[in-house]
Structures are given as structure tokens and as C-alpha cells.
Structure 1
Amino acid sequence: MIRTVIVEDDPMVAKINTRYLEKMDGFELVAAVPTVADALPIIERDQVDLILLDIYMPGEDGWSLLSKIRWLGQGVDVIIISAANDKESIKKAIRFGAVDYLIKPFEFERFQTALNSYKQEQSFIEKQEELSQNDVDNLLLNKEQPQSAVGTSSVELPKGLTKNTLKLIWEKILENKTEVFSTEEMAQQVGISRVSMRKYLFFLADIHIIETEVVYGAVGRPIFKHRMANLDHNLMEKYISG
């Protein structure tokens, strides 16, 4: 089992992350705490494999915890879960050795992808006494190519997404550029299931075409609201052409 600590000061977000983690096979929640001061004794005392770490919290921030973990030489991996989406935060996370970075708000599929990828990589490494250069390349370099390096040619979509459906969704978004829409509303307009639509909208958020926020009602589950954030026809053409 991958022993995991959640460090998150927002009780609602901590609850959601805990519920998401409980859905994942192979992971065990050691603790969910709201501050760095609460997290450090747990990390020092218990066997912890993975931390799901917020950045901005009361008192010391997540960067401070990351720095202390590295200084202590603790063999703990970190997935950052933060609303910070500026380039300096991303670069800093990479320098500190974060294994993934989830930008709030996100949906379960992105959380699931991050943790499953981490689990698969750890399982693979544990089975090897020595790794070949090809093994190392697959682990460290087999990432989606940044958009700036792709050029103008067609780009493959993530598994499970189709160009025709993405094109329909893009056309619907263009029809109502300034309007906010929910996942369910867009699913109804395009004629696909809400579950399928979530995958497409997550992808569009991941490439910064739309932005997403979570709206919490008085009762029931949170509603994800989306709006266009980037009118980049050239970027979209790479995914829907061909």
C-alpha cells in the first residue's frame, strides 16, 4: 500500500481529496492535516510514501514543507495540488522534485490519472534491480510534448477522445464565447454522456482553452462551471485537424 498524507487547509477540499483517495486501489490514507506544523511530525514518525500537498496555507506554506523534506533526506514523493498556476510555481515544483502538479479545481479523472501513473511507476521500479537507458527514458521522458515544441502539425489526442467530438464541443464553446456553462449543459448540447463530457472539458482545461471553477451549493455535490479562457484557434486546429 502507498501510505499517503493529505496536507490541505480547506476542509471542503481536504474532504474531497480524501474521498477521491478512498476510491483508489493501492493507497492508504495516513492522515489529512491542515498545516505544515501538523504534517512534519507525521512524516518524521511514520512511514509515508506520498504527500498530496497544497501550497498556500496558514503559517508555513507548502514550499517550506517540500524544502524540509528534501533537507531531511526523507524518501517521500509529493504531488502538488494547488490553485497556483503561474509559471514560477510550476518551475519551482519541478526543481523541488514534485512528481505531478494538479491545478485546482480538477475532476476525479485527473486525480486518478496522477495517482495511477505514480503507482505504476513505483511498481515498475520496485521490480527492477537495474534499469536500462530505455527504462529510464520511458520513466522520465515519456511525457506529453509541450505545445510550443509541437509545431503546426496535427497532435494526437489522449486515449478515449475523438477529434470529431472535440470539434463539436469547440464549436459549441465558440457559439457562446462569454457564457458560463456546466458539464451537464454542454453534454446535452453535444449529445454525449456527462461522464464523457467531463473528459473532454478536463482536456480543454489542461491545455488552457477553458477555465473551470467549483460552485458549492447548499446541498448535493459541487457543480463544475466552465468558461472560455483562450481563443486559440491555432492550438485547437492541431487537435481537431486531420
Structure 2
Amino acid sequence: MSEPTGAIDVLVVEDDFMVARVHRAFVERVRPFRVAGAASTGGQAIEAVDRLRPDLVLLDLYLPDMFGLDVIPRLRTAGHDCDVMVISAAREAETLRGAVRQGVVDYLLKPFEFEDLRPRLERYAARRRRLLTTVVRGQADVDRVLAGAAVPAPGVTLPKGMSVETAELIEQALRDADGSMSATECAALTGVSRVSARRYLEHFTAVGSAEVSLRYGVAGRPERRYSWRG
């Protein structure tokens, strides 16, 4: 699997060629995700996972050769530990319960828009990063990993309209930066808008987690640049 600071490889499993193209385009718009390949049947999905070793599988359930949920145990039997996010029109409660029992990381109903998929991918990326990098010092660390955004870090309260997932993306960008960065640079790295990046950066500055400096150019306003204080 990819390193936590690298790309997250995705396999798109969808039998409709045009729908698969849309899903691929959506995924490619969210950093650090990239589409490693696509499959249109359950058999192709199993072969593609074996060959490509993706981190995440976007799995349709109504496949020509088998029901999508039957793909998952075959992947586990073959020793693959990739995560699975179901993307399907299946609304039956039993199907949802079966997906939960199979350990899927999320379940998104068709049809959907980019803004429906994006926060789910961001949430997955944040939780995956916690799983790969967390140091368990006590129960609170375990709870944060298992519950994801439902259990914020002790003492951390975000202003209304801000999400834990996006805050973690911005924080990671700041931590990984070689020096300081502008809101524009941060937006380009994380895939959020410049306005959103600026809002989170200013929040981190206000609570003392980041510090801001001014860079003066030839003309115009000085550029605000941010760096993580940790």
C-alpha cells in the first residue's frame, strides 16, 4: 500500500463504461487520490487487485458475473488488504448490512455528484493517515482512529462550517511543507479552494498552531505565508 504521504491508488469497478469514466474523473479531482485502473466485472476486479495492488476499491454491486459483495471475501482469501467503498444503486437494508459486515469503509448511493463523493474520499484519506501514523498512548488515540471524525482530538473545536477531514488535510500540508506556504500553494496541494485553505490557515494561526509571516513583492499587498509551529 502507498505511504501515508503519497498517492492513494484507486481501482474503479463499474460495468457501465460511461459511468466508470465519470467516477474516474471525480476521483482524479481529489488529492492525493489517483486511479490505478478499472474493471467491469467481479472477475476482472479480483485480477486487477492482484496485479495493481490498489489502496482503495470503488465497488459497484450489480456486476455482470457476480454480486459485488461476493468480490470482497475472495480478495481477503487471496490475501489482499485493500479497502472497499461501495458505490451502488442498491438500497436494500440487507445489502447495506452485508456491506457493513464485509467491512466496507463507506457506502454511496447512485446517482451522485462530485460533492457527494469528495468528502467521503477526504474522510477516508484522513482516517487512513491516522491508521498508518498514529501512536497509541491511550484509549483516546484508539477512539479517534476507530471513530474517525466523530471523535475529535481532546480540546480541539473547529468553527462552524469547518470539517475535521479538511482541517487534517491542511495541517498535514503545513507539517510537510519545506518552510512556509501561501493559501494558494496550500489549496493546490490539498485540492480545496483557495478561500477554504485561507480560512483554515487563519484558524490555525488564531489558535496558535501556525504562524504567519509577510512576504513583500514588487507591488501590491504583501503575501501571507503560513508555517506549522510544531
TM-score tier after normalising by the smaller chain length: 0.5 to 0.7
For structure 2, list consecutive stretches of 5 or more residues without a partner in the other structure: 1-6, 151-159, 163-230
The alignment status of 1:27 with 2:33, answered yes or no, reads yes
Pair 121,131 (structure 1): closer, same or farther in 2 beyond 3 Å: farther
Deviation at 1:32, TM superposition (A): 1.3
Superposition map of 1:96-135 within 5 A: 96-130=102-136, 132-135=138-141
Aligned to 1:11: 17
Moved more, 74-83 or 57-66: 57-66
Superposition map of 1:66-215 within 5 A: 66-130=72-136, 132-141=138-147, 159=161
What is the CA deviation profile of residues 161-217 of structure 1, one whole-angstrom value per residue up to 9, with x for unaligned ones? Answer: xxxxxxxxxxxxxxxxxxxxxxxxxxxxxxxxxxxxxxxxxxxxxxxxxxxxxxxxx
Aligned length: 147
In structure 2, C-alpha distance between the alignment counterparts of 1:22 and 1:69, rounded to whole Å: 24
What is the TM-score of this pair, normalised by structure 2? 0.59
Find the residue that maps to 1:29 and give its secondary structure.
strand
Q: Which residue type is aligned with residue 85 of structure 2? A: I
Pair 37,31 (structure 1): closer, same or farther in 2 beyond 3 Å: same
Aligned to 1:212: none
In structure 1, C-alpha distance between the alignment counterparts of 2:15 and 2:142, rounded to whole Å: 36
The alignment status of 1:46 with 2:52, answered yes or no, reads yes
Pair 47,33 (structure 1): closer, same or farther in 2 beyond 3 Å: same
Query: CA-atom RMSD, angstroms?
Result: 1.9
Find the residue that maps to 1:101 and give its secondary structure.
strand
Deviation at 1:72, TM superposition (A): 2.1
Aligned to 1:37: 43
Aligned to 1:217: none
Q: Which residue type is aligned with residue 75 of structure 1? A: D
Aligned to 1:177: none
What is the CA deviation profile of residues 32-85 of structure 1, one whole-angstrom value per residue up to 9, with x for unaligned ones? Answer: 111111111221122211000000110122112112112223110000000011
For structure 1, list consecutive stretches of 5 or more residues without a partner in the other structure: 145-157, 161-242
In structure 2, C-alpha distance between the alignment counterparts of 1:13 and 1:130, rounded to whole Å: 41
Find the residue that maps to 1:73 and give its secondary structure.
coil
Aligned to 1:165: none
In structure 1, C-alpha distance between the alignment counterparts of 2:146 and 2:46, rounded to whole Å: 28
Find the residue that maps to 1:136 and give its secondary structure.
helix
Q: Is the 8 A contact 2:131 2:145 kept in 1?
A: no
Deviation at 1:142, TM superposition (A): 5.3
In structure 1, C-alpha distance between the alignment counterparts of 2:141 and 2:91, rounded to whole Å: 31
